[in-house]
Chains A and B, each alone.
Chain A
Amino acid sequence: MSAGVAAPILEVRGVGKVYGSVIALSGVSTSVGAGEVLCVLGDNGAGKSTLLKILAGVHPHSSGELLLDGRPEHFTGPRQALDAGIATVYQDLAIVALMPVWRNFFLGAELSAGFGPFSRLRVAEMRAITLEELGRMGIDLRDVDQPIGTLSGGERQSVAIARAIYFGARVVILDEPTSALGVKQAGVVLRYVAQARDHGLGVVFVTHNPHHAYPVGDRFLVLNRGASLGEFDKDGIKIDELTRLMAGGAELDSLARELERG
């Protein structure tokens, strides 16, 4: 299961983020390498989103360091992270519902021919690539011209993941990809996570659901109130321990007892 000790592509050491007087994250260290799935777990407000934003280049970190291929890096915007091969699939998927699937697929990275103001989109090529890449993920769209808003939640998620993989991502960050999905759809998305890993990508899977994280994860970083509760290999932790840890352990136990009695 574990992909061995690949050199990490993306690594953070003691990273932290302060918004005004709020310490959203402090002293978190972790890394992700090729063919590896790092799960970032935590309850609401644990600092998952903040860590994600630092990795994705949305907000620069305020302390600690971020290493890309072992070299210190300070992202100033999402475009810079994208160019470095770090693609993020946001919870809202960064799609535009009214636009056709293929236009969404290539948004911000459109293929064009000609130069300067006279360059034009290579429409046929983009349609074909979209169809092919989605087919590779097992989505058989009849018409890549339909607005992406007409697809189901799972399909949209898959388009977003396929897009991230196609654009040469080395690391894909998935923000709560399964939270809004039904059981079957979530299963489909988890399969894509495994596929991405098998293609040699590093995957950062941010979720609050240990049942989704455990089957695909190699390592688990558990956050609570902006700090790390530790990072565990799959061999080193069982799913119920993971769940306990996330929910604050003892608190969950007492809740369980209380509910049983009632």
Chain B
Amino acid sequence: MTALTTPSEAPGAASAPADERLARTHPLVRLLRRPEMGALVAALAIFVYFSVATSAFLSPAGAATWLYSASLFGIMAVAVAMLMIGGEFDLSAGAMTGTTGLLVGAFTTQWGMNLWLAMLLALLIALSVGAFNGFLVVRTGIPSFIVTLGTFFILQGLNLAGTKLVTGQVAIQGMTLVPGFDAGKVIFGSTIPVAGVNLKVSVFWWLGITAVASWILLRTRYGNWIFAIGGQLQSAVQTGVPVKRTRIGLFMGTAAAGWLVGMLSLFDVATVQATTGIGQEFIYIICAVVGGCLLTGGYGSAIGAALGALIYGMILQGIVFAQWDNNWLKAFLGGMLLLAVLVNLSVRRQAGVRA
């Protein structure tokens, strides 16, 4: 037994090479390595640029506009980021914002259901669709990209066909006449003045959701499990993490976020288009990636995703204020995405992860 392990050298043997080979990391360098740092720098640059280049951007009305835009994308991006850290995608997240709004609209305006009951029912339906997505992925091992692409098309079809069937039109209107609408508007559609800026209440929902998601990811057991499942599923299984439950929960999380955003837009404008949310599922993913999430899972942050959405909101409205052609937005977005992916790649390399 003593042949290979002389007691005098063994303890030093493990630690000495580590000290020689690893350069000491400066606290500032470590701060820069946080997943959301790239997005923070980009957000500041974009903010400064549009503030200087346009007069409307920093005006109270202007700021309220891009913050509102960012808040709706931000709530979804944060939920999608949590799911992506867990190693999955949800392409049905965008259509879900439409489905939930349309359900509440149809239940109340067409069938006279109580508003709060209709909202609860829509939430339950959203959660079951999320659970269905999760269950299929966990049970069959089919990539979530495929499963949720399926649910995305189902929801898109149901939204359009269902709305036409029930109302004869492609939108639901007349929500203001529903009893209780004003009370609902206080929670989901009101405006709160802060320092001269009339902020939509959705901005506060966005901040709250980001804070809760950060807390879950960094300070609870679920957070640890989400990172582990997305980083190395097999290791999570071997260490006894309740893998199935956690993954299904994440899909239910994006569905619930879809419901929240559905309610926020419903009470803001009192109408719902049947096409609401369609085409936005990739924007949520892009916001999350720009915010530092790895497409392959296991790495990212909620604050980063929120910053990604802030960037998107600022560019979306900034381009309007600067009176550029709207189509530049897409080109810009693509460039940001590629840049972010390249930055994220170096993160993996540094941690010695095989691609």
**Can you list the 3 inter-chain pairs with the closest CB atoms, starting with the nearest?**
A138-B11, A108-B239, A140-B15
- A96 close to B (CB within 8 Å): yes
Residues of A within 8 A of B12 (CB): 138
B294: nearest residue on chain A (CB-CB)? A98
Q: How far is the CA of A108 from the CA of B13 in the complex (A)?
A: 30
- A96, A106, A112, A150: the one contacting B352 at CB < 8 Å is A150
Residues of A within 8 A of B220 (CB): 112, 119-121
B25: nearest residue on chain A (CB-CB)? A143
| Beyond A99-B227, A107-B224, A112-B220, 12 extra complex contacts between A and B, CB < 8 Å | A92-B235, A93-B235, A95-B232, A97-B231, A97-B352, A98-B299, A107-B235, A108-B228, A108-B240, A109-B239, A140-B14, A147-B352
How would residues 60 to 104 of chain A score, 1 for a CB under 8 Å from any chain B CB and 0 otherwise? 000000000000000000110010000010101111111100010
A154: nearest residue on chain B (CB-CB)? B14
Q: How far is the CA of A136 from the CA of B227 in the complex (A)?
A: 27
Q: Choose, from A12-20, A28-36, A180-188, the stretch at the interface.
A: A180-188
Residues of A within 8 A of B228 (CB): 96, 99, 103, 107-108
Q: Is the CB of A139 within 8 A of B232?
A: no
Q: Is the CB of A1 within 8 A of B234?
A: no
Q: Smallest distance from the beta carbon of B304 to chain A beta carbons, Å? A: 15
Q: Is the CB of A186 within 8 A of B14?
A: no
* Partner-B contacts on A (CB < 8 A): 1, 78-79, 82, 88, 90, 92-99, 103, 106-110, 112, 119-121, 123, 137-143, 147, 149-152, 154-155, 158, 184, 186-188, 190-191, 194, 212, 215-216
Residues of A within 8 A of B241 (CB): 107-108
- B244 close to A (CB within 8 Å): no
Residues of A within 8 A of B139 (CB): none
Residues of B within 8 A of A194 (CB): 1, 5
Residues of B within 8 A of A123 (CB): 219
B299: nearest residue on chain A (CB-CB)? A98
- A92, A96, A120: the one contacting B227 at CB < 8 Å is A96
Q: Smallest distance from the beta carbon of B208 to chain A beta carbons, Å? A: 15
Q: Is the CB of A98 within 8 A of B353?
A: yes
Interface residues of B in 184-240 (CB under 8 A from A): 215, 219-221, 223-225, 227-228, 231-232, 234-240
Q: Smallest distance from the beta carbon of B347 to chain A beta carbons, Å? A: 8
- A98, A112, A120, A155: the one contacting B18 at CB < 8 Å is A155
B17: nearest residue on chain A (CB-CB)? A152
A106: nearest residue on chain B (CB-CB)? B224
Q: Is the CB of A97 within 8 A of B15?
A: no
Sample (6) of A-B pairs whose CB atoms are under 8 Å apart: A99-B228, A138-B11, A147-B350, A149-B351, A155-B14, A188-B13
- B10, B231, B234, B240: the one contacting A98 at CB < 8 Å is B231
Q: Is the CB of A96 within 8 A of B238?
A: no
Q: Is the CB of B353 within 8 A of A97?
A: yes
- B245 close to A (CB within 8 Å): no
